[in-house]
Amino acid sequence: MSILQVTNLCKKIGKKEILKNVSFAIEKGDILAFIGANGAGKTTTIKCILGLQKMDSGTITINGYDIKKDFVKAISSVGAIVESPDVYQYLTGMENLEMQASFYKDTNFEDIMRVVRLVGLENRIYDKVSKYSLGMKQRLGIAISLINNPDLLILDEPTNGLDPEGIKELRELLLKLAKNGTGILISSHNLSELESFCNKVCIIQKGKIITENSITELKTTSENKYHLKVDNASHARKVLGKKATLLDDYNLELFADEEGIAQSINLLVEHHVKIYEVIKESLSLEEAFITIAGGEKIV
């Protein structure tokens, strides 16, 4: 049984269709990168999963519980940060955590300290949140989302405000949680960072899921990136057109499938371009996203 199962989720705001039959799943131990350009429907999907927005049709189940029929049971095993941590500035970090812990049964001081240690706030947990840096507030928000030891963790832009060390610590924390069986959905514009720890990716474009796959398979099933070294890169760029990118006088970059690169090489030879080297390179997650999304970029 999937920890999270979203099936044919639809949502309209006014006459505009925001979500169109969105379907995907998260299994135990998955870290799913939920990516798309601004306005693609990421945050709306997350809010529907959490019951913060009402869906028009479709089903969402968490640990087998339908959020329409058994919302309390479904949401009891979920932790989340949507857009920014919801914390009280005039309270200390500990007071914020104690307030959150009071909403759950059988939560004690040791449960609070467990999440404090997880996010590395031991030395500042008794300071007022108003004295926290943006990164520290983000860590506190993550601690709050973990207080109920959730099976499903949903994070919307969790690296905002974190310095490189903070991002590294978050990555290690999420990998540890996933290893212990937590399913994680994470939405972020930082695709290079997601690539370093997510095992699955779901791409949403204009309210539709255009692919759901492992990151490894996504990067191998999309077009490949080729580096070409030639005698005259400017001339080669004119021959190949917009699909090639000029790097310098002798090098250019090209995205193509196997048939496409063969045709491009033949075309260059026909136009008397000398080819010294053709290297197939691994795509980054961002490059794979751009090729699959038809040139659309994460912004």
- Per-residue pLDDT, 92: 96
- Per-residue pLDDT, 222: 62
> What are the boundaries of each domain within the chain?
4-215, 223-282
Q: What is the pLDDT of residues 55-64, one digit of tens each?
A: 999 999 999 9
155 compared with 294, residue with greater pLDDT: 155
The reply to whether CATH 3.40.50.740 applies to domain 223-282 is no
Q: Domain 4-215 in CATH: superfamily?
A: P-loop containing nucleotide triphosphate hydrolases (3.40.50.300)
258 compared with 296, residue with greater pLDDT: 258
Q: What is the DSSP string of the chain?
A: --SEEEEEEEEEETTEEEEEEEEEEE-TT-EEEEE--TTSSHHHHHHHHTTSS--SEEEEEETTEETTT-HHHHHTTEEEE-SS----TTSBHHHHHHHHHTTSTT--HHHHHHHHHHHT-TTTTTSBGGGS-HHHHHHHHHHHHHTT--SEEEEESTTTT--HHHHHHHHHHHHHHHHTT-EEEEE-S-HHHHHTT-SEEEEEETTEEEEEEEHHHHHHHSPEEEEEEES-HHHHHHHHGGGEEE-SSSEEEEEE-HHHHHHHHHHHHHTT--EEEEEEEPPPHHHHHHHHTTT----
- Per-residue pLDDT, 56: 94
Reported as a pLDDT band with limits 50, 70 and 90, residue 108 is confident
